[in-house]
Amino acid sequence: MTLTVRQFPCLSDNYGFLARDEASGLVACIDTPDAAAIQRELEAAGWTLSLILNTHWHPDHAGGNAELKAATGATIVGPAEVSRIAPPDRVVGDGDTVMLGETRFEVIDTGGHTLGHVTYFDAADEIAFVGDTLFALGCGRLFEGDAAQMWASLQRLTALPDATTVYCAHEYTAANARFALSVDADPALKARSEEIFAARERGEPTVPTTIALEKATNPFLRAPLLRPDIADPAAAFGAVRAAKDGFAG
Ligand code: ZN
Ligand code: FE
């Protein structure tokens, strides 16, 4: 099984992703931030879209569903909450499987940013599309869920293999690094942040990341270490999340 991923910028700071199952030639897009940009990328690749996988209902993730479906006939798969934007053809939740040719995506509940947010994990290729749950050095804001729900979701992601390639949906990494450096003096974080600032100055993406890299340096995953004064790990995470929400630097 081989999945080929094409990543491209959409809107102001989103990434679009096309994923092609090499065995069958079938193509999925993960979220639909910008239907026109996705269609241009399909044309550039010479690929035909058959599947839309939504991580959550937000317009910068599902806003292109209707236009892309009308243009390509693709099947929309997503959590029930996506009905707020465009009704999925198939509603999925934790433990479900979605096939793209020979590629098998496991659906993992990663609620918190929105209540129904899901991640799509291809175990054979060790690839995860995490939407707005986990970012490089960051995590999604708690728009709908609470710290306990998000912490549990992040634990499901850190339980994936260390080598897992993590495709997050936004290029927020430089701002995330500035916050991370304000709460964590770890040398690995400092080194990674310098690489990130240099990459962004060269106009290079910092996505994808890996589970190993995030476990080592992401301040939200390291929250219990950073806040030893708070006994409950989810509460420690909540404190770091609140600090980021109020961070001006
Ligand atoms: Zn979102
Ligand atoms: Fe988003």
All domains of the chain, ordered by start, with CATH?
3-245 (3.60.15.10)
- Whole-number Å distance, alpha carbon 229 to ligand 2 midpoint, is 32
Residues whose CB is under 5 A from ligand 1 (ion)?
58, 132
Reduced to 3 states (helix: H, G, I; strand: E, B; else coil), residue 103 is strand
Reduced to 3 states (helix: H, G, I; strand: E, B; else coil), residue 192 is helix
pLDDT digits (tens, 9 = 90+) for 134-183: 999 999 999 999 999 999 999 999 999 999 999 999 999 999 999 999 99
User: Which ligand is the nearest neighbour of the Cα of 10?
Assistant: 2
- Whole-number Å distance, alpha carbon 59 to ligand 1 midpoint, is 8
Task: Reduce the secondary structure of 5-70 to three states and give it as a string.
Answer: EEEEEECCCEEEEEEEECCCCCEEEECCCCHHHHHHHHHHHCCCEEEEECCCCCHHHHCCHHHHHH
- Whole-number Å distance, alpha carbon 131 to ligand 1 midpoint, is 7
Active site residues: 56, 58, 60-61, 113, 132, 170
User: Which ligand is the nearest neighbour of the Cα of 169?
Assistant: 2
Share of the chain above pLDDT 90, in %: 99
- Whole-number Å distance, alpha carbon 233 to ligand 2 midpoint, is 25
Show the tokens assigned to 112: 């918190």
Q: Spell out the per-residue pLDDT of the chain, length 249, in tens.
A: 699 999 999 999 999 999 999 999 999 999 999 999 999 999 999 999 999 999 999 999 999 999 999 999 999 999 999 999 999 999 999 999 999 999 999 999 999 999 999 999 999 999 999 999 999 999 999 999 999 999 999 999 999 999 999 999 999 999 999 999 999 999 999 999 999 999 999 999 999 999 999 999 999 999 999 999 999 999 999 999 999 999 987
Does pTM surpass 0.95? yes
Q: How far is it, in rounded angstroms, from Cα 4 to Cα 14?
A: 19
- Whole-number Å distance, alpha carbon 60 to ligand 1 midpoint, is 7
pLDDT digits (tens, 9 = 90+) for 116-134: 999 999 999 999 999 999 9
Residues whose CB is under 5 A from ligand 2 (ion)?
60, 132
